[in-house]
Structure 1
């Protein structure tokens, strides 16, 4: 578990419009694609890690942060440690004092994942971002839509 001095988790302002769109309720529906920015960042970090897309934040563009306390709820904090451990391939990353390095690794994979999502929305159309993300996950081999429904029109977005 990270210590009380654990840093907040940053994200690039480059993605802010897209981030807000993905966590805002969809028109005519009572839900958003991602319930919180924390959950979007966790998804993006896993996607970035899976696609080997670790992209440093351009601090010149500015950053937004999410309080580390948000990651202490549920299993999100464990994901930060897991991605850092998988990247470092050495348990020394889990020692006290390595929290900023773990946060940076997570942030960079999340940033890479956000770039992937941005590219997907540009390529497949941003009118229905939920459908575009599902289609992209299917195209990338992470999701078998045939297991979800025999016909994509049956999917409820």
Structure 2
């Protein structure tokens, strides 16, 4: 692979040794390497049972790694930040997800790209539509801007 592009979603809703969730995302971005562009960090309501709001962002990253190799590295970064296996949808120190890959679709026993739920997540699509409005979902063939326009607005 000759330097593929990846869209990586970042999220945190717990303090870590790096500080607030916002500071945690900034520290994680520094560890990612190959970061070309980053969306603003936004605060969003949690999915599921967590009560704490999330700090979320999306980064466009360049890497020679395959999606599986990048996933291995992202999981190591999450562990370094204090992420532990646990309840799905719970509070988390750091969440790093591969959302898109310039190589199109990827499927392995560990990973599916594009991320299965990204089309329903405004906290991912909003930043993606700003960073890469014309990037096409390899499954639906819609651009990030088109996918975002199809989402219902947040409800209070």
Asked whether the two chains share a fold, i.e. TM above 0.5, the reply is no
More strand by share: 2
More helix by share: 1
